[in-house]
Homo-oligomer: A and B are copies of this chain.
Amino acid sequence: MDRETSLIRELTQLIPSITHRLEKDGVLPGVGDDAAVLRPSPHSEWAISTDFSLEGTHFLSGYSADSIGYKSLARATSDLAAMGAKPRYFLLALALPPGKPGKWLRQFAAGMSRAAREFDSRLVGGDISRSSSVTICVTVLGEIPVGLAILRSGARPGDLIYVTGALGAAQLGLEIILGGLSRQPSLGKLLKPHLYPKIPVALGQTLARRRIPSAMMDISDGLSTDLARLCAAGGVGAQIHAASLPTVKVPSNSLLRGIEPLALALHGGEDYGLLFTVPPKLVTCLRGIARNEQITHIGEITRGPEIALVHPDGRTAPLSAKGWSAFAQ
């Protein structure tokens, strides 16, 4: 179990919590899924989730305020997309060093506004405070038709595994920045998946409304880590085909040498695409709705608990969770 998961488990054992079991009390999944689902009345369900965006952890101090604003809301909204919820409202808690200029705030707000309009979500409240580094916490609320929220835990042996978008594109953008190459004109557009991730909000809702996925989550920490979480939640295993992964092309540049598309796809964080599983009998329905979307079949759910990677030569090896971890040293 990774340190993050064990910390969450410890906290939920220590603090009165509502966890994965069903509750009579109007709360469904609770701690550990992408979002908690509340049922304030028999006729409505709400997904709620909260996410930090912290300077030094989630973004570097040199990033444009516009991208920080956009991505803070996008990262949190990704958890709603992963439940199949329609984003409605958000709260912004923002703490800034006292000397932060007004220009920074306006650019931050411009980026966040664009995200809010794109996701059709509205700011309803928040908190403003002072801190030594930029500290952002966004809480998002979304609406789901009763009973249609897609949890992480529903995958069954034989289900097919899919991902949306390309895998590793955001990590490649980060590597370009870390390599000091972000000002190279030819590489500029490769930064976008890292700075302005696309969130498949409409697709998440469509999949949930049609009840196609048996399990769904967003890929925030990398496929290997997030697939391990999905499998653990369902008590299953998985087999992934390396040749099927929608990898990205790494530009030829000496500073990017050693960065392998396969490693990026398996372990690169922050793509914010959807990872979902589909029972074989529903694959035809999926094809019907997925015509304009990049959806890739990458493997199958097994009895488990092993998660295996099948290489193009037929060799099979265990796939370890090596994605992003908040507590990696």
Q: Which residues of A contact B (CB under 8 A)?
A: 4, 7-8, 10-12, 14-18, 25, 27, 30-31, 33, 35-36, 38, 40-41, 43-44, 46, 48-52, 54, 56-58, 89, 91-95, 98, 102, 105-106, 109-110, 112-113, 116-117, 121-133, 135, 137, 139, 141, 143, 326-327, 329
Contacts and interface: CB of A to CB of B under 8 A. Distances in A.
Nearest to A131: B54
Give the interface centre of A110, A131, A139 by most chain B CB atoms within 10 Å: A139
Contacts of A52: 93, 95, 127, 129, 131, 135, 137
Given A54-B95, A98-B327, 5 more contacts: A7-B128, A11-B126, A15-B92, A18-B89, A52-B129
This chain: copies in complex: 2
Contacts of A92: 11, 15, 50
A121 B7 CA distance: 20
A137 B50 contact: yes
A25 to B, nearest CB: 8
A124 B27 contact: yes
B106 A14 contact: yes
A3 to B, nearest CB: 9
A122 B129 CA distance: 25
Nearest to A132: B56
Contacts of A14: 106, 109-110, 113
A57 B130 contact: yes
Given A7-B105, A10-B105, A44-B41, A124 B36 contact: yes
A279 B141 CA distance: 36
Contacts of A109: 10-11, 14-15
A89 B27 contact: yes
A226 B158 CA distance: 60
16 contacts: A8-B126, A12-B123, A15-B92, A18-B122, A18-B123, A18-B124, A31-B123, A36-B91, A38-B89, A48-B125, A52-B135, A54-B129, A54-B131, A98-B329, A131-B133, A135-B135
Nearest to A37: B124
B4 A128 contact: yes
A7 B56 CA distance: 24
B11 A105 contact: yes
